[in-house]
A = this chain, B = another copy of it.
Amino acid sequence: MARLEELSNQKRSFATGDYLYRSGDRFKSLHAIRSGSFKTRVLHEDGREQVTGFLMAGEIVGLEAISTDIHTCEALAMEDTEVCELPYAKLAELSREIPSLQRHLHKIMSREIVRDQGIMLLLGSMRAEERLAAFLLNLSQRNAIHGMSATQLRLRMSRMEIGSYLGLKLETVSRAFSHFQDEGLIQVKARAVDILALHRLREMVGK
C-alpha cells in the first residue's frame, strides 16, 4: 500500500453521497482510500440494486473496470472521504519494472475475488441472522486492522444498505439486530453497535 500511494500524483476529496464513479464511466484510474469509506453497487435495468461492497481506508476501488475499461458498478462516499488516484497506465508500467509491485497488484485483485466468493457463500447458503453475524464480524475485523476497536462499531450505512448487501429487506435486518440484542450478543443504538459476545457471533457463522 505504501508503495502504491507513493506513485499517486493526485488526491481527491468527497462528501457523503458524492460519486467516485458511475456505471458506464470510462475507467482511467484505481483509487486507494486514505480515509473515509465508499459503498459500491450494481444496478439492474429494472431499478433493482445490489450493494456489492463497503470499502474502508486502505482498500482499493475500481478493480472491476479493468476488464472492459468501463465501470460496471458505481461507488459513492458514505462520509467525508479522501482517495489517492492511481492512474492505471502508470501502475501497469511501474509494475512491469517492479516485480513486488506487480505481485502486490495481482494479490489485490485476487483478494477481491476471494472476498466476492465469500459473499456468494453468504448469500447462497446462510440464513438471515448468520448473514448479519458474518457482516458484523467482518466489520469488526477490518476495524481492528486499522487499530480501532474490534467491538465498538459505528456503522456508516443504513439498515436498507445493509439489507441490500446481505440480500435481505431492511425490516429483516432490523429484527435481526433486535434479536441479537435480546440475546445479549450486541448492544445496538441506531448505528452504534457494541459487540458483547464476539465468540458467540463466531459460533453462529461456524468458526
Contact = CB atoms under 8 A, between A and B. Distances in A.
Contact of A113 (B102, B107, B112, B121): B112
Contacts of A123: 120, 123-124, 167
Contacts of A107: 66-67
Main secondary structure of the interface of A (DSSP, over half): helix
Given A67-B113, A112-B113, A52 B99 contact: no
A73 B73 CA distance: 26
Interface of A: 42, 44-46, 48-50, 52, 63-68, 72-73, 92, 95-97, 99, 102-103, 105-107, 109-114, 116-121, 123-126, 164-167, 206-207
Question: How many copies make up the complex?
Answer: 2
A68 B42 CA distance: 27
Nearest to A91: B106
Given A46-B206, A64-B110, A120 B120 contact: yes
4 nearest CB pairs, A to B = A66-B110, A116-B116, A67-B110, A124-B167
